[in-house]
Amino acid sequence: MMSLTTPLMLWVLLLFQEPTIAPRLGPAELDQLLALGKEAYLAGNYRETVDILEPAVAADHGLAMLLSADAWYALQTPEAFKKSRFLYERCIYEDDSIPFADHSYVRLARIYIQESELAASENRNYDAVAYREEALFYLSRMLHKFPESYFRDEVLAEIFDLATEGRDFDQVSKTAERIWAESVDEHLLTRAEPIMFIRQDPFPDDPAALAATFDRHADFIRGFPELLFAYAARFEELGDLARSAELYLDIINLWPNREDSAQSLLALADLNRRLGHYESAAFLYGLVMLDHPHGEAGSQAILEVAEMMARGQVREFEVDSRPYTYAELVDTIRHSRLDPVVRARYNFQVALLEAGFGNVETALIILRNLVADYDRGPYAGLYRTFYEQLLYTTIDSRFDAGDDWALDRIYTQHRQTLAFTTEVRYPRKVAEAYLRLDLPSSALQVYENMWNFKQSITGFELAFEEPLTDYLMLLNQMRRDEKLSFRLTEYAGLYGPSDRFHPQYLFVKTMYESRSMEPEAFLDQVEENPIPVRNIYEARRVRRAAVMAQEAERPELAESLYQTAAKWPELETALPVLWREGRLFEADRLFSLGNYNDSRNAYEAILADMRYDGADRDWAYLQIARLFELDGSIKQSLRIYGQIVYSEDKDSVPYTLFAERRLKSLAAAKVLEAKEEELFGGTF
């Protein structure tokens, strides 16, 4: 005869037992359920694993929570990811004694990576950025907390991939350094090789090794102009001029608008001259003169062409169909620049023509160079005013048209104007465009430039307040806490409680403190300094604190916070999710305190309010059914459980599953009761 203590029989008894009071499982029973869950998991029966482990999860058994989270994760559906994410977070934040915490961090990160990819495929760029930053947060936390983790190399690889996708060369470089210092995985070391190889100091005199390294990683190296430039310079140093010229040409073709493009073009021209390709060199020098007529590179190009003509290497030379004689070049070099007034008037006319033909970005480059070179003299003010008006009008039109890559080019080409302007709404639009392109690091740099400029001038506090507040919000969203801590202090020195965006500042400060402080210390601070609720940002602060209070098992504080929020008349419309959470918490709180009548009234009020979604309403139904069970009203609880089972709300799946199990359990109880009556009633 099978023993009643086997794991299978234990699970069956738990399924069919009377549900009025939740069973208290002993250590042996929990271990038996865990063993049965492992068996189902290893057999690939993930749904069965979740069902088996549910009593153990309800009893807060750590390993059961972890295995249940893995089973949900293995189901690979959006709903399952939600359940697994919740359980992994519990494993991390609720019980430090649960082993394999690094596993939970990694799985959480991978869930966020999948959610980021889904959001990107649906053009929800803001969500995609937020999810990717969450993934980076958990991956970085795992490395920080568990530097010797079994998953270390996998996590380093994932951070490397995310940084590569986001064009964050600094993060890629830092990750490569850590891989090189800590990993022994050959594949991972190979991925870090192109960065670490070029950084050798002293650099080995080995052209073959340089070429082999580049060939192995050519696609990766071409993804980062900084890295490609470094390899081009190394090839030149080691005498492989043809290969160096090839890479400089790649830089020019792939990133024509970079600030150092003139140096790349000039270096390419020099290499062609040294290789004896004089016509090609002259053509490239002409491009430098055309694109950078007022800079050092342009002057150097003129000098090199003049020397080539003097040696007889080039007989004719023209730039943009304008022929130059040797005498003209020499005269240009001797005087260093054309007559400022003449040059300025000519360049301005060319800019007007370009703009008239629709080549606005070309016109802007001409005007930028004109203003930089001709800052004083007749019509200098007119040139600057026209340049700025055309620049700002172009930003407006490109932003409204959604041409975000054009804004990227414009900001790169006109950084010296846009990073030092009090007309802050234009660089702010560029930052918003970068966010739409899923390039938060680029947006962050725009805000950083605005912040630095504001720090260098006096006045204009009102103009800068909103974009600087946006900067804090973005730092908070990206979890750049080290930078955020400094900026919060600096912001407090510029703006005070009476300023317009002080509530946003306090919101960011609260979110930062909730991450950087110990939870208990943070909640003590909230308790000592209550948050008034007069606007949506204060309401969001209260919501964050209330969630943390529940996680820390401080229901009295959570109750106080929800009550404070409820006093704000606009809460229902401004932040309805907090209003609903407060009422649900109140009902659950009454239930937990044994005040069943008032809790039932609260749940019924929720059911009567159509502003609650299906999941919330099903939860209220479920709780009412449980109350009827506790009261012995089995028929009424059966009726409600039956309604929940047929709920069509996808977010209510856990509730419908629970209701279905309760229906089966109650039905089984009725069958057993009938059998007992038949046995002891003498009918046999």
Give Cβ neighbours of residue 457 (< 8 Å, ≥ 6 apart): 422
Report how far residue 501's alpha carbon sits from residue 464's, in angstroms, rounded to the nearest whole number: 11
Residue predicted with more confidence, 664 or 679: 664
Cα–Cα distances (Å) from 557 to 90, 507, 522, in that order, read 20, 19, 12
Give Cβ neighbours of residue 491 (< 8 Å, ≥ 6 apart): 468, 469, 472, 505
Q: Is residue 329 part of a domain?
A: yes
Rounded (10°) angle between helices 576-592 and 536-551: 30
* pLDDT bracket for residue 485 (50, 70, 90): confident
Q: How do residues 397-427 score in pLDDT, each as one tens digit?
A: 999 999 999 999 999 999 999 999 999 999 9
Q: How do residues 218-257 score in pLDDT, each as one tens digit?
A: 999 998 988 998 999 899 899 998 898 888 888 888 877 7
Encoding tokens for residue 546? Answer: 């209330």
* pLDDT bracket for residue 663 (50, 70, 90): low
Give Cβ neighbours of residue 406 (< 8 Å, ≥ 6 apart): 361, 398
Q: What is the DSSP code (8-state) at residue 401? A: T
| Total of domains in the chain | 1
Q: Is residue 288 part of a domain?
A: yes
Please say whether the beta carbons of 21 and 594 come within 8 A: no
- pLDDT score of 18: 46
- Picking from 615, 588, 582, the residue whose alpha carbon sits closest to that of residue 603 is 588
**Strand locations in 99-152 (E):** none
CATH of the domain at 283: 1.25.40.10
Encoding tokens for residue 489? Answer: 């202090």
Residue 11 has pLDDT above 50, yes or no: no
Q: Is residue 313 part of a domain?
A: yes
- pLDDT score of 512: 87
**Strand locations in 274-334 (E):** 317-319, 322-324
Q: How do residues 80-118 score in pLDDT, each as one tens digit?
A: 889 989 998 888 888 777 778 888 889 998 999 988 888
- pLDDT score of 338: 44
Which of 254-263, 316-325, 388-397, 644-653 ranks highest by mean pLDDT? 388-397
Encoding tokens for residue 596? Answer: 């069943």
Report how far residue 655's alpha carbon sits from residue 256's, in angstroms, rounded to the nearest whole number: 57
Give Cβ neighbours of residue 265 (< 8 Å, ≥ 6 apart): 248, 252, 284, 287, 288, 291, 297
Residue 683 has pLDDT above 60, yes or no: no
Rounded (10°) angle between helices 380-400 and 360-373: 150
* pLDDT bracket for residue 651 (50, 70, 90): low
* pLDDT bracket for residue 303 (50, 70, 90): confident
Report how far residue 635's alpha carbon sits from residue 508's, in angstroms, rounded to the nearest whole number: 51
- Picking from 243, 220, 223, 224, the residue whose alpha carbon sits closest to that of residue 232 is 243
Q: Is residue 286 part of a domain?
A: yes
Report how far residue 340's alpha carbon sits from residue 346's, in angstroms, rounded to the nearest whole number: 10
Provide φ and ψ at 322, rounded to 5°.
-105, 110
Report how far residue 141's alpha carbon sits from residue 423's, in angstroms, rounded to the nearest whole number: 39
Encoding tokens for residue 641? Answer: 């459980």
Cα–Cα distances (Å) from 529 to 212, 468, 492, 525, 670, in that order, read 63, 26, 18, 6, 55
Q: SS3 sequence, 588-632?
A: HHHHHCCCHHHHHHHHHHHHHCCCCCHHHHHHHHHHHHHHHHHHC
Model-level pTM?
0.44
Encoding tokens for residue 378? Answer: 């007749």
Q: How many CB atoms lie within 10 A of CB 642?
A: 14
Residue 589 has pLDDT above 60, yes or no: yes
Report how far residue 636's alpha carbon sits from residue 642's, in angstroms, rounded to the nearest whole number: 10
Q: SS3 sequence, 193-262?
A: HHHHHHCCCCCCCCHHHHHHHHHHCHHHHHCCHHHHHHHHHHHHHCCCHHHHHHHHHHHHHHCCCCCCHH
Q: What is the DSSP code (8-state) at residue 650? A: G
| Dihedral sign, Cα of residue 175, residue 181, residue 182, residue 183 | positive
- pLDDT score of 225: 86
* pLDDT bracket for residue 264 (50, 70, 90): confident
Q: Is residue 359 part of a domain?
A: no
Residue 305 has pLDDT above 80, yes or no: yes
- pLDDT score of 497: 84
Q: How many CB atoms lie within 10 A of CB 293?
A: 21
User: What percentage of the chain carries pLDDT values higher than 70?
Assistant: 85
- pLDDT score of 299: 75
Which residues partner with 323 through β-bridges? 318
Please say whether the beta carbons of 349 and 367 come within 8 A: no
Calculate the average pLDDT of the chain: 82
- pLDDT score of 682: 45
Please say whether the beta carbons of 454 and 470 come within 8 A: no
Q: Is residue 382 part of a domain?
A: no
| Dihedral sign, Cα of residue 348, residue 353, residue 354, residue 358 | positive
Report how far residue 568's alpha carbon sits from residue 572's, in angstroms, rounded to the nearest whole number: 9
Q: What is the DSSP string of 138-194?
A: HHHHHHHH-TT-TTHHHHHHHHHHHHHHTT-HHHHHHHHHHHHHH---HHHHHHHHH
Report how far residue 298's alpha carbon sits from residue 296's, in angstroms, rounded to the nearest whole number: 5
| Vertex 278 angle, CA 273 and 280, to 5° | 95
Q: What is the DSSP code (8-state) at residue 403? A: -
Q: Tell me if residue 323 falls in helix, strand or coil.
A: strand
Report how far residue 9's alpha carbon sits from residue 36's, in angstroms, rounded to the nearest whole number: 11
Q: Is residue 301 part of a domain?
A: yes
The residue type found at 541 is R
Radius of gyration of the chain (CA): 34
Encoding tokens for residue 199? Answer: 């950084």
Cα–Cα distances (Å) from 141 to 96, 106, 109, 484, 509, in that order, read 15, 10, 10, 17, 21
Q: How do residues 26-62 score in pLDDT, each as one tens digit?
A: 888 888 888 998 999 899 999 999 999 999 888 888 8
- pLDDT score of 206: 92
- pLDDT score of 99: 77
- pLDDT score of 673: 55
Encoding tokens for residue 643? Answer: 């309604």
Encoding tokens for residue 42? Answer: 């290893």
- pLDDT score of 655: 61
Q: Is residue 304 part of a domain?
A: yes
| Vertex 130 angle, CA 127 and 135, to 5° | 125
Q: How many CB atoms lie within 10 A of CB 523?
A: 21
DSSP H helices, 357-497, are 360-373, 380-400, 404-413, 415-418, 425-436, 440-456, 461-477, 481-494
Cα–Cα distances (Å) from 539 to 270, 522, 568, in that order, read 63, 17, 9
Residue 475 has pLDDT above 70, yes or no: yes
Structural domain that includes position 261 = 224-336
